[in-house]
Every structure is written in structure tokens, then in C-alpha cells.
A and B are shown apart, each in its own frame.
Chain A
Amino acid sequence: MQAAIEGVLYVLNHFPFLFIGVAGGIVVGALPGLSGSTGIILLLPFLLYVEPAEALIMMSGMFCGSMYGGSISAILISTPGTPSAAATVLDGYPLAKQGKAGKALAVSTIASTAGGIISTLFLIFLAPQLAKLALKFGPSEYFALMIFGLTIMASVSASSLVKGLLSGFFGLMLAMVGLDPILGTPRFTFGITRFLTGFPMVPVLIGLFAFSEVFSQLEVLGTKTIPHVEKVRSSLPTWKELKSLINVILGSSLLGTIIGIIPATGGAIASFMAYNEARRFSKHPETFGTGELAGIAAPESANNGTTGGAMIPMLTLGIPGDVVTAVMLGALLLIGVRPGPLLFTQTPHIIHALFAGFMMAQFLILALGLITIPLFPKVLKVPVGILYPIVLALCFLGAYSYGNSVYDMGLAIIFGLLGYFMKKHGFSAAPTILGLILGPMAEQELGRALIISHGDWTVLFKSPIALLFYALACLSVWYSLRGVRKAKAKGL
């Protein structure tokens, strides 16, 4: 209890960080083309100069805010700000066309808050238990866990499994450049001194996620005609309407939280599943798609439900739950915070601040969401001619401020172009980042396990926990292959 109070007091004392994260996240999420991962990348230059707990609060705010923000453009202009809000378009935009955009946005805000609160409760109660279990892990268990984490590469692949795996292994290859993590042998430096330290994470992240997005936006410039956004007036749902949505919100929030805990799933899957379930259990399924409030409440509570869920494996095991938490994991490593069970025992104040920040972020979303509804159309009118050049300037600053080096700025552009080409030709950047983050960890744990066992490879298969992770890894690969077969059968 005392820890919870300390956490709340910490967040209150550092409230501007939470506010910047949440407000920035709502704006970033609302703007089509920018997502939560881009938002966290834009925060990077600031994160390097603040306390780890403040950085975590800001990133959590950005994560939750952007997840909610995606619904704004989905409702107002029929363009989901983030992939997680795609299901919200189905009923949100028809409501906006009926002149009920204010009510649709209010329902989205309330449902998002409820989903966020439920998933935060799971995070608070489940994460410490999982961390306690993870404390028993040795190098062989961690190696098995990393293998499981790496199989996620297959699941986060965009269209083609082979291309997704190639992207992931490309990340593993990039991670090998530099010094060997066990013996310090220089590898793949090709005589270039700069390569001894490997590819720094910040420029690679900025390039693959942010710069590539800017290049993609240049490509579609002028081809998308955004419908005229009318004025929106605040309009809260009636008590009767809210009462009819309670079951949908609770069920979808739980579903979202559970899906969020499973690595490599994320908000998009959760929101569509919740939408389908809400329609299946509805007494009037035929009204879905025509402007049904439950059609907004279900996906929004589910996608915000994934936020707390996705944080559980990331914080306790160092395994990212989705793309945003993968970027967040990279950012945490940069600021010297290594997620894992030791984070809970060695720096509990950071964890308590994070829990309090995550919970307070939900209430801030509720307050900001409801108060600023009339301002949303203005946010969507920010000219791209101003927005993206400033995003670029911030990205450059982020790349530079990491190592005070122009070399990092150059790396960011090169990886940006590479990320753009990858995206354009069906190679996803998310597996590359997973490979870049998890590869060195897997190699290090494998090396440790073999040193402890004096080179006996069977040590990797002796622990029941390790065997469980291998089984999960096989299950993850099977799941991905099944998805590919299904897509082929449908002719996709």
C-alpha cells in the first residue's frame, strides 16, 4: 500500500511527463501515418536526459494515448490513426456521418479508459508474480525464452512468412556486427573502426520506423483526399446507453488484456476479435456497421486493454508483446533500464511509478478525451507540409543526441531508406528490430549456459521451464504457418 502511495506521489510530482506522454500520444495516434512506435521514437531525444522512471511514465502515456488517439481519425475521417483502430471505423464513421461524432468520440474515450484500467489492474497484480517466477531462470531458461521471443518474428511478419523471417534474421545479422558479447572478438567490422561498437539502436530505430514513414508519406502525398471535417460538439452518452454497453466493455477489456499478454498479437487483432464477439452476442447484430455504439465500445476497450497486457511479458521477461513494446524495449535498454525480474527487485520504485503512471494515464485520457473533443478536427487539419519536416528535424535530433555524432544521423537516413524499401516490398521492419534486440541477448545467454556446463549442450534441454519455452516456440511457429496456409487458401 505504501509503495502504491509512493508511486502515485512520484507521478503527481512528475505530472508534466505523464501529460506530455498522454497528450502527445493522443495527437500522434490521431494523425494517420504516425503511430505509437513513431511517438516513442520522437520522445527518444528527451528520454535520454530524464530519469528512468520519468522516461517510463512518458512512454507509457505515449503508448496508451496513441492507442486511444487512433480512434479519433477513425471516427472523424474514416481513416484509422493506428492499425488498432481499424475496427472502430466500421461503426464510428457512420455515427459521425449521422452527426453524432461527439457521442461516438465520448463512447470511444470511456471504453478506452475502461479497457486501460482493467489491463492496468492485470499488469499490477500479474507482473510481480511472473517476475518472481522469472527470478528462478538461469541462462538455459533465458536462452529458451529468447528463442521463443525470436519465433515471434514469424508472427509479426507482414504478408510473407519467408520475408518476415528474412527481415528478422537481417536484424540478427546486424546485431552481430561489433564485438562478440562473450569474448570480445571483433566481428564483421570489415576494417571499419566505427563498426566495432556495432549499429547503435537509436539511429536504426529512428531510420526503420520514423524516417521510412516520412518517405512513405512523401509517396502518397496528394493521392489521399481527406474528407472535410466538420465541427464536433461534446455529447455524452445517456446513462441508459452506457448501461447497455457495460457488458461489452468489460468483456472486450478482458479479451484485449489476455490477447495483449500473448506476445506478437497486439491491438489490431484484439479489436477485431472484440468487435466480432460483440456482434455475435448482440441482440441486434444487423445494426453493426451502421453506427452501433457497441461497435465502437468493443474495439476501443479491447485495443486499450492490450496496453497493460503487452507490458507484462515486456517488463517481466524482456519479451515485447507488440511493435510498440518492442520499440519501448529498445528505448529502455538505451536509458539503462533492462526489463526483467531484477527490475522488480532492484529498482522497485521505477516499477511502482510505472504502475501508478499507467493507471493515472487512463484517467488523463478520460479527462483530455472528453474535454478536448471539439478540438479534435483541428488536430487532424495540421498541414503535412509542416508536420513531417518537423518530425524529420526531431528524428535527426534524436539520432544526434544519442551519441553526439553526425555519423548516427547518416545511419538514420540510410536505415530510413532501407526501411522504406523493406516496407514497399513486403519486408516488415518489426522483425528486424526484434532480431536486433533479442539476438545479442540469446547469444549471451547461450554462451553463459555453455560456460557453466563446460560446453555440455544438453544443459539447454534439461530444465522443464526451458522445455516449456521451446514448446511455446514450436506453437508460435505452427500458429504462423497455419496463418500462412489459411491466407493461401483464401487466395490472399
Chain B
Amino acid sequence: MSKLNVLYGSITGLIAVAFFLYTFSFPSEQRGLDPRLYPRFISICFFALSVGLIITGVQAWRKERKPAGEKPEQASIGPAGKKFFLSPTKKRIGWMFLVALGYVAIIDTVGYLVATPPFLAGSMVLFGEKRVLRILLVSVISTAILFWLFRIIFRVPLPVSSLW
């Protein structure tokens, strides 16, 4: 975790610097609150906290290294990163993210009624549901109920297909 803290601190620090530099493009205003002042203050605080996170990360890393002869905890970015992407549970999260992104990508084209059942079915499979009939029934019936509730009752203009 200590090395990861250094990494996160560096990323947030860079974001703070980018935000601070962006404020130079804002116009100056003498009356009331200068539009640059508040964003600069927040950016500086964010940067200071990022430095704080880096320092605590380095301190913790040094502590981890102190016991002579002992190997440091395997929390380095390399192996931890590899472990993250190879573990089956993390793969499931990755797949879920992709399924959700795919749903968002196609919903405007194929419409809510067509896009939702496959999305629900995919999510059910990722959540460990194996019974095909249950997957089919739940995905179709829930889509129908949600469509009825939102489109008919609440009159939410759900996405309709642009293909037909």
C-alpha cells in the first residue's frame, strides 16, 4: 500500500498542478471574489494533501524495509498490478465494466427494450447465475416491468431505437 500511496499522491499532485495552471486562463476581477482565487486555493490544498500522502507513503515504505534481512511486503505496483488484472474476481469486475459500457454504447441505437435484456442477462451471468431459463425470464420480465413503470407511469422518455 505504501508504494501505491506514493503513486496516488503523485497522480493527485499532478491533477492539482494542472488545475492550478489552468487558472491562469481565467479573467481577473477586482470586485468581490476574484474567479482565480478560490480554484487556486483549492488546488494548493489538494497539492499539499497529495504531498502529505506521498510523505506518509514513503515513511511507511521505510518502516516496511527496516527489518534487516526481511523481504518488503509484496505491495509493489508491479506484482500487485499483475495480480489485480489476473485474478478472476477482478476479471469479473473488468467484464462488468465492459458490459455496462457496451450497454451505454448501444442503448441509443437499439433502444431500451432491446438493449436491456442482454445487459441484465450478462450481469446475471457475471453474478454467478447459471440457470438459463431463470436468466431469460428475469431479464425479459424485469425489462418489461421497468419499461412499464418508467415509460408508461412516470412518462420518462426512455431511449428508442434509431434503426427502425
Contacts and interface: CB of A to CB of B under 8 A. Distances in A.
Interface of A: 45-46, 49, 160, 162-163, 165-166, 169-170, 172-173, 176, 180, 182-183, 185, 187-188, 190, 211, 214-215, 217-222, 383-386, 388-390, 392-394, 396-397, 400-401, 404, 406, 409-410, 413, 416-417, 420, 425-427, 439, 443, 446-447, 450-451, 454-455
B100 interface: yes
Interface of B: 1, 4, 8, 12, 15-16, 19, 22, 26-27, 29-33, 35, 38-39, 42-43, 45-46, 49-50, 52-53, 56, 89-90, 92-93, 96-97, 100-101, 103-104, 107-108, 116, 119-120, 123-124, 126-129, 134, 138-139, 142-143, 146, 150, 154-159
A385 to B, nearest CB: 3
Nearest to B98: A413
A404 B157 CA distance: 7
Interface SS, A side: helix
A389 B123 contact: yes
Contacts of B96: 214-215, 218
Given A182-B35, A397-B156, A400-B158, A219 B42 contact: no
A221 B89 contact: yes
A168 B90 CA distance: 27
B129 A182 contact: no
A385 B128 contact: yes
Contacts of B146: 393-394, 397
Contacts of B116: 393
B77 to A, nearest CB: 12
B11 to A, nearest CB: 11
Nearest to A439: B42
Contact of B43 (A160, A173, A427): A173
Given A173-B19, A425-B8, A219 B89 contact: yes
B156 A188 contact: no
Sorted from nearest, which 9 A-B pairs have the closest CB atoms?
A385-B129, A389-B123, A451-B32, A447-B33, A385-B127, A169-B46, A49-B154, A401-B156, A185-B35
A232 to B, nearest CB: 26
A183 B12 CA distance: 28
B156 A218 contact: no
Given A413-B97, A450-B32, A450-B33, A172 B42 contact: yes
Contact of B19 (A185, A188, A401, A416): A188
